[in-house]
Amino acid sequence: MTTITEEAGRDLAHRPTFRGIPAGAMPMVAFLSALAGFIGAAAYTHSAGYFVTFMTGNTERAVLGWFDNDVLLATGAITLLISFGLGVIVASLLRRRLWRDSRHGAAVVTTVALAVAAVVDYALDRTGGQEVGFIPIAFVAFAVGALNTAFVKNGETSVPLSYATGTVVKLSQGIESHVSGGSARDWLGYGLQYAAFGGGALLGGVVSLLVGGELMIIMAAAVSAAAVLLTAKAKRAALA
């Protein structure tokens, strides 16, 4: 027999507090956001400046590259856009058919894609160079696209992990709401997500000074694999 206090605590734990997800999921939001930031830093610092998290930038590059007579820039940006989108599509299809209502599936796809990127990079460049080639970077973009399907509500992504622009907008609106009489809860979740993404990028930048691109991708794959274990463990705990 449960007490009123226990019922209230259970209700609080499952109350949607941030983008429609329970408060207990916030650590995973922060962890995966940091992973997205780290992956983005790994790709940018050890390539020709490719964006794997910033599709707004890739869209502008895809358009403006033609005006600057930089066909490689434009086609590269288009390819990354397609790769990112394919990551979202594949992970969403697998979620619909194999792991409905589970977050670990997105991390599984991300881990596999990052592992493939590392293998392809090694196969194409056995010299151990610092820079990662474009083909492996395309797999990294696929991985980030898949990662963005970790949190889904009503068939749509509720927490876009790599979409920092939208997070900043929501954060700013939450601050305005707090100033206008709301509470800190109006913006704290967005602040945490943005800080986690930026922290992951910062960590990636620091690590990039110490190791090469291939090793950074391997490290990102290892962290993503850890995310698989954590999300699977969280699911088992929720079912217990």
**CATH code (residue 59):** 1.20.1250
**CA-CA distances (angstroms) from residue 41 to 37, 46, 140, 206?**
6, 8, 11, 9
Evaluate whether residue 74 is within a structural domain: yes
Q: What is the pLDDT of residue 178?
A: 92
pLDDT of residue 142: 97
Establish if 11 belongs to a structural domain.
no
Q: What pLDDT score was predicted for residue 239? A: 42
Judge whether 14 lies within some domain. no
Residue 56 included in any domain? yes
pLDDT the model gives residue 185:
86
Q: Is the residue at 16 inside a domain?
A: no
Q: What does pTM read for this prediction? A: 0.84
Please report whether residue 180 resides in a domain: yes
Determine the length of the chain: 240
- Integer Cα distance of 18 and 50 in angstroms: 31
Q: Could you say which residues of the chain have pLDDT below 50?
A: 1-15, 238-240
What domain count does the chain have?
A: 1
| Residue range of the domain that includes 174 | 25-231
2 within some domain? no
Write down the pLDDT at residue 48.
74
pLDDT at 137: 92
The confidence score (pLDDT) of residue 21 equals: 66
Instruction: For residue 5, tell me if it sits in a domain.
Output: no
Q: What is the pLDDT of residue 211?
A: 82
